């Protein structure tokens, strides 16, 4: 696991800087204690990272669950009651894993997964614009279009014009310049720059800038624009950051409903991220999805037991890991230890990091996920790929992750149905001395979705024609289609249409019973 430590260690540092504000921001957006987000990040990194079969996936608190958590805390009567639902949700995920429910991941169209990655990239960029300029009204990790501060993604950007912080903006521009220079120029000059990642340099420069300009009313950075990690005064106060479930609430029906909701949504988000992460993996490795559900279940159970938020695999952290050169699960695990060690040993130093510098880092992550060239590639792939892709992107930007994916998936299903309708048969018309000779070759699989197309063609056949129905390539013929042919046989006689069926069983002219010919039930005709 540690044979690629030269790659994994620098990557883990970048993931740490990406994860830190997201852990805190998601906790804030969820109405939960700030430390609960850090607990989830630590558990997601160390525990889930160790148990998962994913080489480059990184887990932590999920922005997609923030609205569910916020509502549940109020509905269940407090955070400790909510933690019971988190523990139960983890146990339910374990059951999902043992029941091999992870197979669901393989049924998401590639166009929707690519749309998800692009949509998340765009929303990251849009959401970081206010933070880049020092306007931090909405917490980090709030990816929904309608924000917890009462604004939406675009109104927040417009409001930024009135709240620009010169100091935060200057260091954000410097940080972004360092990141671009580091990745485009310096890493190509020497391998030394590959070991020391640009984001680390940008963060260090940000801390130095804050220290030098502290107290300057124009160019200084006020405390509200800095990371806010809870700082313990002693071991006792540190232990006080942890919360524990009130298992007396386990008989509450609402707790169980919340638990199932968390399990379902967290599992779906994880499986989607697994599929997306595997597509981003340069080595094209495949993550065992059932093992991932088990790892996530154990992670959520442990997180709930000590006061943490629900955990999922998260595409923002995972993509940051991949973009930074992470090779194995060691990067995810080490980032978890960095979170743990930093909140214990250097919380005061962490609280000197400008949020605008971290916004610059996320800008780069977002851009690499949403490169404009991908739109051109998807357009060239044809409308069957492009339409679900665009719908997913727009859905994510203007609603949230799960709604956007659901819309893209729905459109993808419609596209499949349309193509299934179109490809149910092949019609070839021949003219012979004024008589119509028509040959219809059925596809390999013909189901009830194809009824409309076949009925349309049969009803449009002219009188006094000769229909040859070729089903030699057909391996599955739905009973609905057989019944259509049976019904058409009486119409054919009235219109003087002769029918010949060619199958692997032989040729039959004007069969008395199509149902008997195809053995009544839908089955393989071979």
Residues 465 and 382 in one domain: no
Q: Which of 423, 421, 524 is nearest to 476 (CA)?
A: 524
Residues 188 and 238 in one domain: yes
Residues 362 and 436 in one domain: no
Report CA torsion sign: 302, 304, 308, 312. positive
Looking at the domain assignment, is residue 526 inside a domain?
Answer: no
Q: What is the DSSP letter of 519?
A: T
Residues 218 and 299 in one domain: yes
pLDDT at 108: 83
Looking at the domain assignment, is residue 522 inside a domain?
Answer: no
d(CA 93, CA 174): 44
Predicted TM-score (pTM) of this structure: 0.81
Interhelix angle 166-181/198-213, rounded to 10 degrees, is: 150
Looking at the domain assignment, is residue 434 inside a domain?
Answer: yes
Phi, psi of 469, deg, nearest 5? -105, 110
Looking at the domain assignment, is residue 407 inside a domain?
Answer: no
Q: In what order do the strands lie in the sheet with 465-470?
A: 425-432, 435-442, 465-470, 498-503, 506-509
pLDDT at 305: 97
Q: How far is CA 255 from CA 28, 237, 265, 301, 307, in A?
A: 22, 29, 15, 15, 16
d(CA 176, CA 362): 10
Q: What is the CATH number of the domain that holds 475?
A: 3.30.750.24
Show the tokens assigned to 176: 């972004």
Residues 236 and 332 in one domain: yes
Q: Domain range for residue 445?
A: 423-517
Q: Tokens 């990272």 appear where?
A: 49
Number of folded domains in the chain? 2
Please provide the DSSP assignment of 260-300 as one string: HHHHHHHHHHHHHHHHHHHHH-TT-----HHHHHHHHHHHH
pLDDT at 521: 41
Residues 443 and 299 in one domain: no
Q: Cβ contacts of residue 95 below 8 Å, gap of 6+?
A: 297
Residues 13 and 97 in one domain: yes
Looking at the domain assignment, is residue 410 inside a domain?
Answer: no
pLDDT at 435: 63
pLDDT at 523: 43
Q: Which of 176, 172, 136 is nearest to 156 (CA)?
A: 136
Residues 316 and 259 in one domain: yes
d(CA 39, CA 242): 8
Residues 427 and 366 in one domain: no
Show the tokens assigned to 20: 């830190």
CB-CB contact of 331 with 8 (8 Å): yes
Report CA torsion sign: 288, 290, 294, 300. positive
Q: What is the DSSP letter of 310?
A: P
Looking at the domain assignment, is residue 413 inside a domain?
Answer: no
d(CA 297, CA 87): 9
Looking at the domain assignment, is residue 24 inside a domain?
Answer: yes
Q: Which of 140, 143, 175 is nearest to 361 (CA)?
A: 175
Residues 222 and 292 in one domain: yes
Residues 355 and 245 in one domain: yes
Please provide the DSSP assignment of 209-257 as one string: HHHHHTT-TTTS--GGGB------SSHHHHHTT-----GGGGG-HHHHH
Q: Tokens 């692997």 appear where?
A: 504
Residues 99 and 220 in one domain: yes
pLDDT digits 0-9 by tens, 20-34? 999 999 999 899 999
Per-residue pLDDT of the chain (526 residues; tens, 9 = 90+): 667 898 899 999 999 999 999 999 999 989 999 999 999 999 999 999 999 999 999 999 988 898 899 999 999 999 999 999 999 999 999 999 999 999 888 778 889 999 999 999 999 999 999 999 999 999 998 889 999 889 999 999 999 999 999 999 999 999 999 999 988 887 777 766 667 788 999 999 999 999 999 989 899 999 999 999 999 888 888 888 999 999 999 999 999 999 999 999 999 999 999 999 998 999 888 899 999 999 999 999 999 999 999 999 999 999 999 999 999 999 999 999 999 999 999 999 999 999 999 999 999 999 999 988 999 989 998 888 899 999 999 999 999 888 999 999 999 888 877 776 666 666 565 666 666 788 888 887 787 777 777 888 888 888 888 888 888 888 777 777 888 888 888 788 888 888 888 887 778 888 877 766 665 344 444 4
Three-class SS state of 154: helix
Looking at the domain assignment, is residue 416 inside a domain?
Answer: no
Please provide the DSSP assignment of 436-498 as one string: EEEEEEE-SEE-GGGHHHHHHHHHTPPTTEEEEEE-TT-SEE-HHHHHHHHHHHHHHHHTT-E
């Amino acid at each position: 696991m540690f044979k690629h430590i030269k790659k994994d260690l620098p990557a883990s540092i970048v993931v740490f800087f990406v994860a830190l504000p997201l852990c805190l921001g998601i906790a804030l957006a969820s109405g939960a204690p700030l430390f609960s987000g850090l607990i989830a990040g630590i558990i997601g990194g160390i525990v889930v990272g160790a148990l998962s079969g994913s080489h480059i996936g990184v887990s932590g608190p999920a922005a997609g669950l923030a609205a569910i958590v916020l509502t549940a805390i109020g509905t269940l009567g407090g955070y400790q009651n909510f933690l019971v639902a988190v523990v139960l949700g983890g146990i339910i995920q374990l059951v999902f894993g043992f029941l091999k429910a992870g197979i669901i991941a393989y049924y998401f169209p590639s166009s929707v997964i690519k749309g998800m990655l692009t949509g998340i990239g765009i929303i990251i960029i849009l959401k970081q614009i206010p933070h880049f300029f020092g306007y931090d009204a909405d917490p980090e990790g709030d990816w929904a279009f309608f924000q917890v501060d009462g604004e939406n993604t675009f109104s927040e950007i417009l409001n930024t014009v009135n709240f620009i912080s010169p100091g935060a903006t200057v260091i954000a521009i410097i940080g972004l310049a360092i990141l671009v220079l580091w990745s485009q120029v310096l890493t190509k000059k020497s391998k030394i720059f590959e070991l020391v990642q640009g984001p680390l340099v940008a963060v260090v420069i940000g801390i130095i800038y804050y220290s030098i300009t502290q107290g300057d009313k124009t160019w200084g950075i006020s405390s509200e624009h800095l990371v806010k990690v809870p700082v313990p005064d002693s071991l006792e106060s540190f232990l006080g950051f942890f919360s524990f479930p009130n298992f007396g609430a386990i008989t509450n029906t609402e707790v169980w409903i919340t638990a199932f909701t968390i399990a379902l949504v967290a599992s779906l988000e994880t499986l989607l991220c697994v599929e997306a992460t595997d597509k981003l993996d340069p080595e094209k490795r495949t993550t065992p999805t059932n093992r991932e559900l088990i790892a996530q279940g154990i992670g959520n159970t442990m997180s709930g037991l000590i006061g943490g938020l629900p955990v999922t695999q998260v595409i923002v952290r995972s993509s940051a890991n991949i973009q930074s050169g992470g090779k194995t699960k060691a990067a995810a695990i080490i980032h978890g230890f960095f979170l743990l060690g930093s909140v214990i040993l250097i919380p005061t130093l962490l609280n000197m990091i400008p949020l605008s510098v971290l916004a610059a880092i996320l800008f780069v992550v977002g851009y690499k996920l949403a490169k404009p060239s991908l739109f051109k590639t998807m357009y060239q792939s044809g409308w069957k790929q492009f339409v679900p892709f665009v719908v997913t992107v727009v859905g994510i930007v203007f609603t949230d992750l799960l709604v956007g994916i659901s819309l893209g998936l729905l459109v993808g299903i419609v596209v499949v149905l349309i193509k299934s309708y179109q490809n149910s048969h092949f019609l070839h018309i021949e003219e012979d001395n004024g008589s119509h000779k028509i040959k219809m070759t059925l596809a390999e699989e013909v189901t009830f979705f194809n009824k409309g197309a076949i009925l349309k063609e049969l009803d449009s056949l002219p009188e006094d024609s000769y229909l040859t129905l070729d089903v030699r390539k057909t391996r599955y013929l739905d009973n609905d289609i057989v019944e259509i042919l049976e019904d058409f046989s009486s119409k054919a006689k009235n219109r003087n249409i002769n029918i010949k069926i060619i199958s692997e069983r032989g040729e039959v002219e004007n069969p008395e019973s199509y149902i008997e010919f195809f053995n009544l039930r839908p089955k393989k005709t071979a």
